[in-house]
Amino acid sequence: MPKYLLFALLLTLAAAPARADDYLNVEAELNRPGVRVLAVEFFGKDCEPCRRAAPRWKALHEKYRDRGLRFVVVALDDSGRCPNLGWSPDKEVCDLTGKLSERFGVTALPAAFVWSWRGMLLVNNGAHVDAIEQAVERELAALPRVMLTKEVPPALAGQAAGLEALVRSELGKTRKVQVLAGDRDQRDLEALRRKSQSADVDERCQLKLGQVLPANAKLTVRLTQGSTSDWLFLEMHDAEKGCDIGSGKARWRSGQAEIAVAEAVGDLLQRLRSEVQMPAGSESGDWTGRSPSSRASSVDAAEPEQAAALKRAIDAAKAAEASETLTPEQKAAAWDDVARRDVKGKNPYRTDAQQQAAEWRRLAEDWTILQATLMADDTPDEGKKTAVDRFVEAYGRWSAEPSVKAARKARAALDRTQTRQRPVAARTSQLGTREGAVGGTGAVGPANAVPPPASSEAARG
């Protein structure tokens, strides 16, 4: 190749954006490791306020990038070429046809949006850099501080060495929460928890969908033994109120602690996320994250036969969810069928259908674990009740699901058993005290049991 042609090619490549795309998936951007806040600016080459704001956007990006801000610029230009922004955001998306601006409901420039990593829309079509910066600062300052504790049965103690450090490291990689490392911070948060009037965990007090995470949280790293396998649980609670925030789990295998921790942390973060909130007036699509049941169809005018087949698959999946005879795996398969279908190469329901399928498979797995817990002789009734309550809280919205019904029946049976056994337990405790008091060799009571009063039957004997 002649040198002048090579030189011209290099100039062309240098003038082009380092990284440009024509598609924006908000959910995928938020799920990136290290992303705590996502800002999206719509930029127009012929928009004078946009050009004036470019240096301020660059300064904002540099100020908060290391704290977890990801900045995406959607550049609008009808010339067929993505414009030069004059700076390098994390990602540049070329909207040469204006379709993205239509999908996000952008009707005028400048325009910008901000999301938290959990999917909450913090700024909707904002026009001023100051407003965006205030939202970013508030969100980064509000990230919860997390204190780690560990609960490990003696039989698994030998496998749990360094477990807290692994969890701390994995959470640190995601940067979605602030894990307390210093002893002083740990003591301060523990003091706050003890000071609270409701420091005990209350499973009835759950984080509602879209609700802001509490400023201080306690994460319990717990290993449990099952009848067929062992499990790692990560259970997060509000350090001040004791409310259940969320939990993650993974199968625990000796020698594979890193894999289990990574899976459990991923499961926890997935459960802490909510559906991505999109701007009012935005169109449906993979970028929205809205649920299939509430989303208006955007494929009616596409291929009629494919669109009709997709709608039938969605109706069948909804009917499967309401069925009392189909298994969770069959219900997951129904949503898999929705996710596989395309209309002109696209499926605006795919992401949500995949999430629904994953949720049903998670229910099946959790039900298997719960059954093992209920059958375990070494699990106290209170522990079984807690396990049932968590299952019902997670899946109780599917009231027709047989496993949910069975869990509720098991909870009622545990309550009845405890009611019947309470007088017997009281008599057993008293009998043990009597035998212990007279020095019987078969004493059931504690060694230091307090002798009964002289007027009691034991004293007379």
159: DSSP letter: G
- Whether residue 379 is predicted with pLDDT greater than 50 in this model: the reply is yes
First-residue to last-residue Cα distance in the chain? 112
- Whether residue 254 is predicted with pLDDT greater than 70 in this model: the reply is yes
List, in sequence order, every residue forming a beta bridge with 437; answer none if it has no partner. none
**Which band of pLDDT confidence, cut at 50, 70 and 90, is reported for residue 167?**
very high
- Whether residue 455 is predicted with pLDDT greater than 80 in this model: the reply is no
- Whether residue 17 is predicted with pLDDT greater than 70 in this model: the reply is no
Q: What is the pLDDT of residue 419?
A: 66
Q: What is the pLDDT of residue 221?
A: 92
- For the stretch 261-284, pLDDT in tens is 999 999 888 888 877 888 865 544
Q: What is the pLDDT of residue 7?
A: 40
Q: What is the pLDDT of residue 98?
A: 82
- For the stretch 313-372, pLDDT in tens is 888 888 888 888 888 888 989 988 888 887 776 777 887 788 888 888 888 888 888 888
Which residues lie closer than 8 Å to 397 by C-beta, 6 or more apart? Answer: none
CB atoms inside a 10 Å sphere around CB 378: 8
Between 169-173, 384-388, 430-434, the lowest mean confidence (pLDDT) is in 430-434
Q: What is the pLDDT of residue 12?
A: 40
Give the SS3 label for residue 305: helix
Which residues lie closer than 8 Å to 162 by C-beta, 6 or more apart? Answer: 257
- Whether residue 29 is predicted with pLDDT greater than 80 in this model: the reply is yes
- For the stretch 189-236, pLDDT in tens is 555 555 544 444 444 444 444 455 667 888 899 998 876 788 899 988
Distance separating alpha carbons of residues 91 and 24, to the nearest angstrom:
10
Burial of 265 (0-12, 13-18, 19+ CB in 10 A): buried
Q: What percent of the chain has pLDDT over 90?
A: 16
- Whether residue 16 is predicted with pLDDT greater than 50 in this model: the reply is no
Domain spans, the chain: 16-141, 145-272, 304-412, 421-460
Residue type, 116: S
Instruction: Please give the average per-residue pLDDT across 66-80, as a whole number.
Output: 86
Q: What is the pLDDT of residue 61?
A: 95
Q: What is the pLDDT of residue 191?
A: 56
Give the β-pairing of 230-238 and 243-252: antiparallel
- Whether residue 145 is predicted with pLDDT greater than 70 in this model: the reply is yes
pTM value is: 0.58
**Which band of pLDDT confidence, cut at 50, 70 and 90, is reported for residue 434?**
very low
Q: What percent of the chain has pLDDT over 70?
A: 72
Instruction: Please give the average per-residue pLDDT across 368-379, as a whole number.
Output: 85
Q: Identify each DSSP E strand in 10-120 by its residue range.
A: 20-21, 37-44, 69-76, 91-95, 111-116
Q: What is the pLDDT of residue 188?
A: 56
Distance separating alpha carbons of residues 359 and 271, to the nearest angstrom:
10
Arithmetic mean of pLDDT over the chain: 75
Give the SS3 label for residue 456: coil
CATH number for the domain whose boundaries are 145-272: 3.40.50
Q: What is the pLDDT of residue 451?
A: 38
Q: What is the pLDDT of residue 65?
A: 93
Q: What is the pLDDT of residue 401?
A: 86
Q: Which helix (H) or strand (E) holds 121?
A: strand 121-126
Exposure on the CB side of residue 214, measured as CA atoms within 13 A: 23
Q: What is the pLDDT of residue 437?
A: 36
Instruction: Please give the average per-residue pLDDT across 58-74, as a whole number.
Output: 94
Give the β-pairing of 216-225 and 121-126: unpaired
- Whether residue 425 is predicted with pLDDT greater than 60 in this model: the reply is no
- Whether residue 164 is predicted with pLDDT greater than 80 in this model: the reply is yes
Residue with tokens 């809280």: 393
Residue type, 344: K
Instruction: State the CATH architecture for 16-141.
Output: 3-Layer(aba) Sandwich (3.40)
* Token pair belonging to 289: 């994250």
Q: Which helix (H) or strand (E) holds 145?
A: strand 145-151
Q: What is the pLDDT of residue 373?
A: 86
